[in-house]
Structure 1
Amino acid sequence: MRITNSVAFLSATTLVGAWDFSFFGRAVNAAQKTFGLKAPTVKIAVIGAGAGGSSAAYWVSKAQERHGLDVEVDVFEKDSRIGGRTTVVYPYYDEANPGQELGASIFVAANKNLWRATTEFNLTFVDLQDEDDDFGLWDGQQFAVTYRGSLLDKARMLWRYGLAPMTTTKIVTQMIDKLLLAYTRQVPIWPTIEALSNAIGLANHTTVTALEFFTSHGVGEKWIKEMIDAATRVNYAQDSTAISGLGGAVSMAATGASQVQGGNFQIFEKFLEHSNAKVHLDRTITRLTKTIVSGKTKWIPSGSDPLAEPVAYDHIILAAPLHLSGIDVISDTFFPSSLPKVDYVHLHVTMVSSTSFRPLASKFGVNTEAEVPRFILTTGDSARNGGPKPEFQSISYYKTYEVNGRTEHLFKIFSLEERSDEWLEETFGEGTIGWVHRKEWDSYPKLVPRSVFPSIKADAGLWYVNSMEAWISTMETEVLSARNVVDNMLMEAFGKGICPPAVKSDKPKSVKDQEEIYGWDC
């Protein structure tokens, strides 16, 4: 009964380790139309090749294919690879060993863009639905819950939580149904995050905490403070008393959890491979300068390559948290208040390969190792009432494999502080650890309750994909946001979106029509 680490609607824990950016083209001049002159090519720059940036380039190519738009796209990526936060690491740095995502690990069945891309690009799904029921809920001093799938365990869960799990499932299903409207022509394009939230009926999810939201919908507090808390802590490293109701609902939406065999980054590689974009790796952009050329707004990116010839682009789509990107925006009409600062969680990820099959009993105050689950989530409920804080967000077993002539077991630990070698030995046993890999990053926003979100359009020609990240932060919603930003920009520049206008019909929709995904199917 594992609560799968879903950031998407979702998983995917979120998004953006090498932050993404994009830039889009300007419109045809009215005089040029009048005299039949060919409009100049619209130049588009995408800075960053993660979920938002790579998909932005792909959405432009879909519009280009359908409408014959005269555009050029450049993609600038500060790292030497494509994929942003989707990073795969191999034990002992040997690709013969099983790889594991460090972040942005999974996506789920409701993530229509990622699901469709995986199918469209002939990538292979890995089903992550849990077969091994070996779960424990640690409160910092004891296991509040353990579950291994027996009838007795199920009876205990029913006794402890009553109908709260079923009520939660109903609420989450309703949330997903509303969110799926964003994939239809009913809500194809939105000018602000507030407009989207209102249009699909999710505004009341974002203004209160998960505890307040689920309580108001009849869910028992014990379930919220323990199990929903566990889900929000593993997915977003935030308690149910702090994260928004929408963040809480998203954290519980794990149906159909999957990843791509070999790494989710391949989706974003394929987005760029199937676009007409020119990709520039190892190119850091540190400044965006707004200028006027022949009466038209242009943007000039500059950065790590001092020998690069300045190029003026017509529009910019910033697909990364501006305050973390290191980019200065030079413009007399750009106001930072249009992109209010969103605080991020600083997360530590520790991969451990150990000969221990599970964590030590002594670390968790139980009598035998058999009593220690291999998948441990945490609740902050005891700490909120004066008890000790859990030292980690989660410990997850992933794989058993043979290496160096012995059997080892791969675990991943999420924590808000670095876990030392000494701590790891206390947890898994002295002399049992063969390999450790650590990474720390600003992994996702603090999804605090709010009613106002960053602007989609921050300035003339400057668009912001990450305006959505303070609403929901996942790989999927970065792709969804990029689609909307491109749609808005193309409508402004060309009077055409990614898809042609819908043809009105009195005929009832077929099953196929109802399954169409806006952007992919037009």
Structure 2
Amino acid sequence: MQLSRAVLLLLSGFILSGLRAAVARLLPEPPNRIAVVGAGIGGTSAAYFLREKFGKDVHIDVFEKEEVGGRVATTEMMGNLYETGAYVIHPLNLHMKSFVKELGLTARTLPEDNFGIYNGDYLVFHESEWFLINILKKLWHYGLNFFRMNMWVDNVMDTFTRIYRYQASDYSFSTTEALLHAIGGSDVVGKLNMTIEEDMQKSGFSQRFIEDIGIPAMRYNYAQGVKINGFVGAVSLTGTSSGLWAVEGGNNQVCRGLLRAADAQLIQGTVTSVQDRPTKSGFTESQYEVTYATDKGTESKMYDIVVIATPLNKEIGNIDFTGFSPPIETVCRPFQRLVTTIVLGQINASFFGFQNTSPFPLSEIFTTDNHNIFFCSLTSLYSSNSSPEASDLRIWKIFSVETLTDEELHQLFVSYSDISVKRWLAYPQYNPPEKMPPIVLHRGIYYLNSIESAASAMEMSAISAKNVALLSYHQWYGKEEKINQLDLAERLKSEL
């Protein structure tokens, strides 16, 4: 009896081993090489998630023509680092929170500064140092609109957090519209086809509140007014929440850490073209030849999967896709020009209607929609490891559409020095109804920045990176049941 049982166990072992071998022969081989174009928060988090999904054996190259971090950038002044690009992070941005924890970085909560709203002639509203007085002023000027906005933003964020549950269960989406529909159905997708002004009016906000508070929020975050789409407008208004934070040492520390954690090879170069190289070897139908220029000249490498993590805009990421049938078509939308000016200076208080005020009582000044105003916002900056001192001389960050002239700087400051100027194409120009570019450009080419046409933010890029990593994995291995599934909320309940 014991001998028979041993023989049966041995036979079953041989059978199982044979079945595993047969299944292994049927499954595609893992990709050999993956290229990620762009080392901003989208590209570096894509490399991180791709490593997580495809394992340790795949080779990942990340191409970057400038600094790691992209639009998540800092500048040094007087021995301290200051954020010149993407700055605040919402407490419910769970990917960013996870990155900071996994990478051993330190988060620091940003203080809630006193702000004012400037209309080109005077401050239409400004806060004081006293909490109770601020509540009374908000009620006097805007009724319950501020409190309605807090509840509205909370509801937006509660809806938005659904995406984390879906991604934790490995679900992915092949279009940005499908991803947004999974988050909040037609209500969220509908926001792409209306302005944030229309959305706020529909939600019961007064026109005065929209003009005095809504417009300045949009100008601060996107250098555009309330004619931008409702979804990006809602993302912008989340910046009015409490508990906002940043990363000690600069938010771009996250990008550098993700690159290391992904064990990816950084290639300092400009990708100029991606060419289709059809093949019939194994399960791979195409390989892609990526051509790039470095200081040493022009080179090319072959990849199984390519992730484009830079805007397909001729002034930012002008990549030529050749040999594709049908041709790869993308929506190359215009981008908003933004100038960031960092200044060490003493504010001209009289310009904003204050007399003999020392130190200047406000840390943030936002602006209404007046073509005579030459700046979008003026913000007292925190260094990477300290808070601004309550003194006349501080570091200020000015957002403007055009480069500030000496005359304009002299209007804002009694005196100033140590100027740093950064000009860039910062965000898409939003103009609903929006058309989302495709995520899947070809069988193995993915456009991570498609999501920017809905809204541009660090967390949006991280969400898109996770989605692209999951999508590429599922499409490589034929796991269609994990792509574009409907009624995910109910499905997850049944799975639990």
TM interval, shorter chain, is: 0.7 to 0.9
Match of 1:177 in 2: 158
Provide Cα deviations, 1:8-62, integer angstroms capped at 9, x if missing partner.
Answer: xxxxxxxxxxxxxxxxxxxxxxx99686899475211112211111111111111
**Deviation, structure 1 residue 488:** 1.0
Q: In structure 1, give the amino acid aligned to 2:325.
A: T
SS at match of 1:114: helix
Q: In structure 1, give the amino acid aligned to 2:161.
A: L
Match of 1:297 in 2: 286
Deviates more, 1:194-203 or 1:38-47: 38-47
Retained in 2: the 8 A contact 1:83–1:268? yes
Match of 1:231 among 186, 194, 217: 217
1:157 aligns with 2:138: yes
Match of 2:54 among 46, 61, 64: 64
SS at match of 2:423: strand
SS at match of 2:61: strand
TM-score by length of 2: 0.83
Match of 2:98 among 97, 105, 116: 116
Retained in 1: the 8 A contact 2:338–2:401? yes
1:477 aligns with 2:456: no
1:459 aligns with 2:450: no
**Deviation, structure 1 residue 98:** 2.7
Q: In structure 2, give the amino acid aligned to 1:169.
A: N
Q: 1:331/1:257 Cα in 2 relative to 1: closer, same or farther (>3 Å)?
A: farther
**Deviation, structure 1 residue 239:** 0.7
**CA distance in structure 2 between the aligned counterparts of 1:440 and 1:141, rounded to whole angstroms:** 27
1:209 aligns with 2:189: no
Match of 1:343 in 2: 334
Match of 1:147 in 2: 127
**CA distance in structure 2 between the aligned counterparts of 1:489 and 1:35, rounded to whole angstroms:** 21
SS at match of 1:73: strand
Q: 1:41/1:459 Cα in 2 relative to 1: closer, same or farther (>3 Å)?
A: closer
SS at match of 2:147: helix
1:418 aligns with 2:403: yes
Provide Cα deviations, 1:294-343, integer angstroms capped at 9, x if missing partner.
Answer: 4631111112146565321112111111113022111333545x421222
1:373 aligns with 2:362: yes
**CA distance in structure 1 between the aligned counterparts of 2:476 and 2:140, rounded to whole angstroms:** 59
Match of 2:85 in 1: 103
Retained in 2: the 8 A contact 1:194–1:452? no
Q: In structure 2, give the amino acid aligned to 1:270.
A: G
Q: Which runs of 5+ in 2 are unaligned?
A: 1-20
Retained in 2: the 8 A contact 1:366–1:372? no
**CA distance in structure 1 between the aligned counterparts of 2:478 and 2:127, rounded to whole angstroms:** 56
Q: In structure 2, give the amino acid aligned to 1:250.
A: V
**CA distance in structure 2 between the aligned counterparts of 1:115 and 1:44, rounded to whole angstroms:** 26
Q: Which runs of 5+ in 1 are unaligned?
A: 1-30, 510-522
Match of 1:249 in 2: 234
Match of 1:258 in 2: 245
Retained in 2: the 8 A contact 1:350–1:412? yes
**Deviation, structure 1 residue 174:** 1.4
**Deviation, structure 1 residue 77:** 1.6
**Deviation, structure 1 residue 451:** 4.7
Retained in 2: the 8 A contact 1:344–1:445? yes
**CA distance in structure 1 between the aligned counterparts of 2:495 and 2:304, rounded to whole angstroms:** 42
Q: In structure 2, give the amino acid aligned to 1:86.
A: V
TM-score by length of 1: 0.79
Q: In structure 1, give the amino acid aligned to 2:87.
A: S
**CA distance in structure 1 between the aligned counterparts of 2:326 and 2:222, rounded to whole angstroms:** 31
Residues 277-296 of structure 1 correspond to what in structure 2 (within 5 A)?
Answer: 277-280=264-267, 282-294=268-280, 296=285
Provide Cα deviations, 1:179-226, integer angstroms capped at 9, x if missing partner.
Answer: 111111378311211112222221122211111001111111111111
**CA distance in structure 2 between the aligned counterparts of 1:485 and 1:319, rounded to whole angstroms:** 10
Match of 2:180 in 1: 197
Match of 2:261 in 1: 274
**Deviation, structure 1 residue 447:** 2.6
Q: 1:446/1:187 Cα in 2 relative to 1: closer, same or farther (>3 Å)?
A: farther
**CA distance in structure 1 between the aligned counterparts of 2:492 and 2:216, rounded to whole angstroms:** 47
Q: 1:233/1:304 Cα in 2 relative to 1: closer, same or farther (>3 Å)?
A: same
Match of 1:513 in 2: none
SS at match of 2:301: coil
Match of 1:86 in 2: 72
Match of 1:218 in 2: 204
Higher Cα Rg: structure 1 or 2?
Answer: 2
Match of 2:470 among 478, 487, 500: 487
SS at match of 2:249: coil
Q: In structure 1, give the amino acid aligned to 2:253.
A: Q
Match of 1:353 in 2: 344
Match of 1:328 among 301, 320, 323: 320
Q: Which consecutive aligned stretches of 4+ in structure 1 deviate over 6 angstroms post-superposition?
A: 31-34, 504-509
Q: CA RMSD in A?
A: 3.1
**CA distance in structure 2 between the aligned counterparts of 1:496 and 1:325, rounded to whole angstroms:** 31
Q: 1:332/1:292 Cα in 2 relative to 1: closer, same or farther (>3 Å)?
A: same
Q: 1:245/1:36 Cα in 2 relative to 1: closer, same or farther (>3 Å)?
A: closer
Q: 1:426/1:326 Cα in 2 relative to 1: closer, same or farther (>3 Å)?
A: same
**Deviation, structure 1 residue 491:** 0.6
Retained in 1: the 8 A contact 2:170–2:470? no
Q: 1:391/1:496 Cα in 2 relative to 1: closer, same or farther (>3 Å)?
A: same
Match of 1:515 in 2: none
Retained in 2: the 8 A contact 1:136–1:372? no
**CA distance in structure 2 between the aligned counterparts of 1:88 and 1:392, rounded to whole angstroms:** 20
Provide Cα deviations, 1:75-119, integer angstroms capped at 9, x if missing partner.
Answer: 12212x421112111214xxxx33211001121111110011101
Percent of pairs with identical residues: 28
**Deviation, structure 1 residue 496:** 5.5
Match of 1:51 among 34, 41, 46: 41
